[in-house]
Amino acid sequence: MMDPVPWDESVAPAVVMTDAEGIVIGWTEAAEKLLGYHAGEVLRRPSAAFLEPGDRSARGDGGRWSGLVTARHRDDGPILLHGHGVRLHTAEQRESWLLTLAADGPPVTEPILSRAPVAIGVWDTGLRCVWLNETARRLGDVLPHYRLGSRPEVSAPGFDAEAMAGAMRRVLDDGTPVLDRECRWASEDEPAERTLSTSLYRLDGADGRPLGVCALALDTSRSRVRDQLAMLGEASIRIGSALDVMKTAQELAELAVPRLADYVTVDVSERVLPDDEPLRRMGATEVSVPVFHRAGASSIHREFPESLWRRGEVVFVPPSSPFTAVLSTGRSHFEPVMDTSPCTWLDDDPDRAEIIRRTGMHSLIIVPLQARGDILGVAVFVRTENSAPFTKDDLNLAEMLVARAALSLDNARQYTRERTAALALQRDLLPRNLSGGGAVDLAWRYLPSDVIGTVGGDWYDVIPLGDGRVALVVGDVTGHGINAAATMGRLRTAVRTLSYQGLPPDEVLAFLDNMVVRLAEEDAGAGDAPLDTAGATCVYAVYDPLTRRCAMAGAGHPPPAIVHPSGEVGFARLPSGTPVGLGLGSYERVEVELAEGSLIALYTDGLVERRGADIDAGLRRLGTALAAPALSLDDLCARVIGTMVDDTPSEDDIALLIARTRTAPP
């Protein structure tokens, strides 16, 4: 492209004269040199055949004009010139025009930028299009103002022509460039919106007078699609990283700010957070009712000036608001330009209306959190400082993000519900108060797993026997969840029943093994259902304070630790045995004599096993932690847990039972 050249009075311009109808009536030699036409080829012919003059009302009182002119050279195609026009009247009072055309170089057949991938166009001071490169000409199929001779006010479906014309006028008036202005439009032939990133610059002559506006435009529609796909891919990784409702909601809010919205909230209904105060018990105001809990919130502002409520607080909304409408219909609310005029739902919510006006909220999307046919709440997207209103593409992106988050929220809700039930069942089935009678002093700890779905069936118990002896039990049901907790309760009851019969440890485990198999067979009914045997590992020990002897047997469980009063730590050499419930029970009993004040530590494998680590290393760490018998039992339990449990989430329940032996008087 040949750039517009400044006016130079030292160079003789080309002069052309036309009558009122545009018929050439005068042609100079300079015009012939500039445009390549002989006088005989143009005289008495319409000037439009080779010249597209600028808007004659662009400057002056109507009798003069100046601006950029697109001319057609006889041999070399279109060129861009500076043009000046003056209206004349002949002696016969006939109107005519005197045109002067100037350029400081020869015509250019292939402008440097004519085939650039960026659309480049020039509009004169009357906002009439006078030059376009090839890329810009292709935009003329959908945007009429990208056509020679057209103005930006020409409308197109879905395109804000008035806004573009206003931006061009401001550039002409003050000379301040407009950079990266997004223009969006819809086409019947294309389902998705198109986005054009446009920058506007004023073209000035050597005398400083504006000559026109240059627009550089780049179609960024595909770039937006790539950004949306990248954002959705990131959502699949970031949202739902943990089965926690509050964390999942916060992950959605933080992902959408600021790339999609300036302010995002995620509000969930009461049943999603079952442990919170029931909303139905909270009082409603005259115009608002408690509907949601705020689970997630993110803003471009650190102080959250857009919010009436913080995370974890109850959210009140008017029954007539779009929030309740979305909750009841399951359809998104799309309001590109928020209606804050009187006689809307905001009349019933003056506090929210005040925040909307103060923070400049102007565009709103509300999407239902819907998963598996259930509406869990709403996600709200708002723009304040981003002046562009939301588009249908933004709505589609918001709905896709929310759909992913809703599934994660529903998974978290179901997990939380099951975990809460399993923990409640565990608390009910595990002993609250243990007593060693006169045989042992006791301390214990129980830590439920904090990894997804791993609430299990670890248990511990101390059973005083009628003859002064005491039974110590620790076990671990295979599997996790509420079924494992229920099985643990049955096994604990069975062990207590067998203990009261006075059976030795090996026989207790044998009877327990047989009982679990028989219960599984009975649960299978007539044999149509497959046999589902819930096994368990277990250590059962009986200490007699009269003889200071401890008899014990194990069923596939880690061995008890024995701590001498001197601090020496060892582990009982128990035959491993098979877990109970397999029907293979054949267990051996081991007896050891203990000095008064010795410690017996029973535990489950969650204390000593870690993924990727050898169990022997865990046993050595446990032995080191127990080598402090002078501590109180509570302090010793705390020392063991502090040594064995690090900051990483535990993948299994942990049960620890420590007994210090006594000697009964003769």
Q: Which of 60-64, 128-132, 208-212, 324-328 has the highest mean pLDDT?
A: 324-328
**pLDDT value at residue 113:** 59
The verdict on 519 and 592 lying in the same domain is yes
pLDDT for the residue 262: 96
- Given pLDDT bands bounded at 50, 70 and 90, which one contains residue 666? low
Instruction: Find the mean pLDDT for residues 297-311.
Output: 93
Are 473 and 325 part of one and the same domain? no
User: What is the DSSP code (8-state) at residue 19?
Assistant: E
DSSP code for 122: E
Q: Looking at residues 547-552, what average pLDDT do you find?
A: 95
Separation of alpha carbons 479 and 311, rounded Å: 35
Residue finishing a domain among 43, 76, 102: 102
Question: Is 1 within a domain?
Answer: no
Residue 13 has pLDDT above 80, yes or no: no
Q: How far apart are CA 455 and CA 424, in angstroms?
A: 11
Q: Are residues 647 and 515 in the same domain?
A: yes
CB atoms within 10 A of CB 316: 22
Q: How far is it, in rounded angstroms, from Cα 244 to Cα 268?
A: 13
Q: Report, in angstroms and rounded to the nearest whole number, the Rg of the chain calculated over CA atoms.
A: 43
Distance CA 198, CA 118 (A): 10
pLDDT over 90 (residue 322) = yes
Q: Which of 55-59, 210-214, 314-318, 422-426 has the highest mean pLDDT?
A: 314-318
Supply 184's token pair: 């969006």
Calpha distance 219→81 (Å, rounded): 28
Task: Taking residues 250-259, report their average pLDDT.
Answer: 94
- CATH number where 337 lies: 3.30.450.40
Euclidean distance between CA atoms 432 and 421, whole angstroms = 18
CA distances 140 to 49, 122, 132, 166, 181, Å, are 22, 14, 10, 20, 19
Residues 506, 577 contacting (CB under 8 angstroms): no
Are 414 and 449 found together in one domain?
Answer: no
- pLDDT for res 201: 86
Q: Which sign, positive or negative, has the C-alpha torsion 570, 572, 573, 578?
A: negative
119-128, 303-312, 644-653 — which one is most confidently predicted on average?
303-312
- Residue 196 belongs to what domain range? 119-219
Residue 504 has pLDDT above 80, yes or no: yes
Least confident of 123-137, 150-164, 372-386: 150-164
Mean pLDDT of the chain: 81
Asked whether residue 410 falls in the same domain as residue 467, the answer is no
pLDDT for 139-187, tens place per residue? 877 777 788 878 887 766 666 778 888 889 999 999 888 887 777 666 5
Is 305 in contact with 358 (CB distance < 8 Å)? Answer: yes
Q: For the domain that residue 44 is a member of, what is the CATH number?
A: 3.30.450.20
Same domain, 247 and 154: no
Q: What is the DSSP letter of 574?
A: -
Residue 225: inside a domain: no
Q: How many CB atoms lie within 10 A of CB 157?
A: 9
Compute the average pLDDT of residues 491-500. 90
pLDDT at 443: 93
Residues 197 and 170 in one domain: yes
Final residue of a structural domain among 187, 219, 251: 219
Cα–Cα dist 50/28, whole Å: 15
Residue 108: inside a domain = no
87 class by beta-carbon count within 10 Å (0-12 exposed, 13-18 middle, 19+ buried): middle
200 and 348 share one domain: no
Mean pLDDT of 272-283: 53
Between 139 and 557, the higher pLDDT residue: 557
537: tokens are: 């590992």
CATH code: domain of residue 449: 3.60.40.10
Are 399 and 255 contained in the same domain? yes
Residue 70 sits in the same domain as residue 93? yes
- Total domain count for the chain? 4
Residues 615 and 469 in one domain: yes
The answer to whether residues 447 and 638 touch, using CB atoms and an 8 Å cutoff, is: no
Domain final position from 395, 418, 441: 418
What is the pLDDT, as a whole number, of residue 84? 78
Res 353: pLDDT: 93
pLDDT score for 292: 86
- Residue 6, in any domain of the structure: no
User: How confident is the model over 600-629, as a mean pLDDT?
Assistant: 89
- Within a domain: residue 302? yes
What SS3 string covers 207-222?
Answer: CCCEEEEEEEEEECHH
**98 in a domain, yes or no?**
yes
d(CA 280, CA 270): 9
Beta strands in 173-317 (DSSP E): 178-187, 190-204, 210-219, 263-268, 289-299, 314-317
The pLDDT of residue 530 is 47
Taking residues 438-443, report their average pLDDT: 92
For residue 413, pLDDT over 70 is answered with yes
What percentage of the chain has pLDDT greater than the value 90?
Answer: 34
Q: Are residues 466 and 604 in the same domain?
A: yes
Arithmetic mean of pLDDT, 283-295: 67
> Is there a domain that residue 652 lies in?
yes
Cβ atoms 499, 466 nearer than 8 A: no
pLDDT (0 to 100) of residue 10: 41
CA 545 vs. chain centroid, Å, equals: 62
Structure tokens at 597: 């004040």
Least confidently predicted of 50-54, 217-221, 476-480, 626-630: 50-54
Residue 76's pLDDT band, with cuts at 50, 70 and 90, is low
Top pLDDT among 533 and 407 is at 407
The residue whose two tokens read 């979305």 is 326
Residue 56 maps to a domain: yes
CA neighbor of 591 nearest in space, from 469, 461, 445? 469
Q: What is the pLDDT of residue 525?
A: 55
Residue 153 — φ and ψ, nearest 5°? -70, -10
